[in-house]
Amino acid sequence: MTTRSASQRAAQRRPAKPRPSAEDRRRAGVRSRAPQRRRRLFVVLLTIVASAGLAAIVLPHFGDKLKEITLPLRHEDIIRQQAKDKGLDPALIAGVIYAESHFRDGQTSSAGALGLMQLTPETAKDIARRSGGSAFDVKDLATPQVNISYGAYYLRGLERSYGGNDTLVLAAYNAGQGNVDKWLRQAQAEDRTFTVSDIPFPETKAYVEKVLQARNDYRANYASELGLR
């Protein structure tokens, strides 16, 4: 006969522990995962706050850099001075420079136009003769002061010729006064007002639209730099 120990007999008399139900196990799992969820939430919130802080620092500078690329402005002191001296809208001068050279110095076109405002040597020599620039040399067009001064002089002459109509002024700046005068005669013969849509040269039409849009953009974005307020 097998003799059982006292501990074995006690274990046999002790009631068995009830097995945890599925609901109990689920609740225990939820409780054990709660701290992990709180930690993950904390990390996410910390990341969001850090990202927002970084964005607040970086975005203003990024916006400035982006504007310098998409809508550059340089030599604004010369533009202001020439606009004041010649009674021109400084934003219009800036718009012409933007369309002609994108404010890059030293540009030369396939037609031989030079500098920021892309003046041909013939046009520049004529301006020098009429404005008393006896010491002028074509190489001077590489100088922003001379180039913008002569370009503004040319714009002022066109403004006077076309009664301040910027559409005609810009069309003449791009395609020449002879072409614009011919287009105007045709429009007058047909008893209609000449508009941008009447420009027969696609390149000139696109040029006029580009400069007019750039003029508005410079007014909106660089009013202080251009002395507009």
Whether 209 shows a pLDDT value over 60: the answer reads yes
Reported as a single tens digit per residue, the pLDDT across 92-145 is 999 999 999 999 999 999 889 999 999 999 999 999 999 998 899 999 999 999
As beta bridge partners, residue 119 has: 114
Contact criterion met (CB below 8 Å) for 225 and 103:
no
Task: Give me the sign of the Cα torsion angle 206, 204, 119, 146.
Answer: negative
Place of tokens 């008893």: 191
Position 28 pLDDT exceeds 60? no
pTM surpassing 0.75? no
Identify the pLDDT of residue 66.
79
Taking alpha carbons only, the member of 159, 194, 162 closest to residue 86 is: 159
Q: pLDDT value at position 226?
A: 98
CA neighbours within 13 Å on the CB side: how many for 84?
Answer: 9
Question: What local confidence, expressed as pLDDT, does residue 201 receive?
Answer: 98
Please state, rounded to an integer, the average pLDDT across all residues of the chain: 86
Question: What is the C-alpha separation between 223 and 229, in angstroms, rounded?
Answer: 6
122: annotated active-site residue:
no
Q: What is the pLDDT of residues 145-193, one digit of tens each?
A: 999 999 999 999 999 999 999 999 999 999 999 999 999 999 999 999 9
The one catalytic residue in 23, 100, 190, 225 is 100
The single residue listed with the structure tokens 């009664």 is 163
For the chain, what are the domain ranges? 22-70, 76-221
Q: What is the amino acid identity at position 39?
A: R
Q: Which residue has the tokens 């922003």?
A: 144
What are the structure tokens assigned to 148, written together? 């913008």
Provide the total of helices (H) and of strands (E) in the chain, helices listed first: 9, 0
Residues in the chain: 229
The second-level CATH assignment, the architecture, of 76-221 is Orthogonal Bundle (1.10)
The pLDDT score that the predictor gives to residue 19 is 67
Percentages of the chain per state (helix, strand, coil), in multiples of 5: 70, 0, 30
DSSP state of 37: H
